[in-house]
Structure 1
Amino acid sequence: MQYNFPCNIVPDTTEGGWGYLVSFSDIPFAHTGGKTFKESIILAEDCLVVALSCYVDLGKELPTPSSFQDGQELLTVQPVIAAQLDLYTAMREQKVTQADLAQRLAISEKDVSGLLSLDYCTPIGQVAEALRAVGCDLSTAGAAA
């Protein structure tokens, strides 16, 4: 799956408005903002990862990005995070538990939890190995997810 999410960045026009407001139409609870447009983009990228992490932590299906519209900014998650999200999706679709994956990889469930944690700097090689354990690989994970 491609993790390209459009977001809206608009000037804060409320009384005392101080910068820009960011929202994601595909993720209703994801909001942030910054003093400058550039700062808002940077914070929006972090906000997107945190929001997607909430879906993973709650065991929920990931939102499908909507089509990009004029006036929006398109944000894409980093490749290792996309691979982690593909792993999470493949596990959900195949009903592979963290315990199942731990057994397949001969690692602890805590280590599997780390593989799925978007706030942990997981080496891409470890995610690739986990993807192979669920029948995917980095080049086809998006197609299988």
Structure 2
Amino acid sequence: MFKYPVTLTKDGANLLVTFKDIPEAITFGKNEEEALENAIDALETGLSFYVDARKPLPKPSKAKRGQKIIAPSALESAKLGVYQAMMDQGIKKAELARRLGWHMPQIDRLFDLKHSSKFDQIEAAATVLGCHIEITVAT
């Protein structure tokens, strides 16, 4: 759902990592492996800016041939999915808190991509939005 194509550009001794869809997400690495590993954190940080500003998340563009795809971690993807559902339905954080019977700091932590929320809380938020979370393990 949140799989974004990444561009790797040689920059001196490093590889510069950028995302066309999320210009705020920029990082680098000494080699491709390190650059792609750092790209996950850069992507999550870039997407957190949209969540913090209560803006819609950018839609991923189609990857060009040979272009790598980066996605947030599973927990962050679940949080982003709930956030996107809330945005799509025009529901504010205060309304979500009311529906869940939670206080606003709990809602703020739910959408903090650096906070290690409990998965059952993310599922509860999805449920009150009329959604469910699916998890797939792929090889």
Would the TM-score normalized by the shorter structure come out above 0.5? Answer: yes
Structure 1 residue runs of 5 or longer lacking an equivalent are 140-145
Are 1:104 and 2:99 matched, yes or no?
yes
Distance 2:60 2:99 in 1: 31
Mapping 1:68-87, distance limit 5 Å: 68-87=63-82
Cα displacement (A) at 1:45: 0.7
* SS of alignment partner, residue 49 of structure 1: helix
Structure 2 residue runs of 5 or longer lacking an equivalent are 135-139
Distance 2:65 2:30 in 1: 23
Distance 1:80 1:70 in 2: 28
Aligned length: 135
Code of the residue aligned with 2:132 in structure 1: it is: D
TM-score by length of 1: 0.87
Mapping 1:58-137, distance limit 5 Å: 58-137=53-132
Which residue of structure 1 aligns with residue 26 of structure 2?
Answer: 31
Which protein, 1 or 2, shows the higher relative CO under an 8 Å CA cutoff with sep ≥ 6? 1
* SS of alignment partner, residue 29 of structure 1: coil
Distance 1:67 1:94 in 2: 25
Code of the residue aligned with 2:72 in structure 1: it is: V
Cα displacement (A) at 1:29: 2.5
Q: Which runs of 4+ in 1 moved over 3 A?
A: none
Cα displacement (A) at 1:85: 0.9
TM-score by length of 2: 0.91
Which residue of structure 2 aligns with residue 6 of structure 1?
Answer: 5
Percentage of pairs with the same residue: 34
The two structures, once aligned, show a CA RMSD in angstroms of: 1.4
Higher Rg: 1
Code of the residue aligned with 1:8 in structure 2: it is: T
Contact 1:8/1:71, CA 8 A, preserved across alignment: no
* SS of alignment partner, residue 27 of structure 1: coil
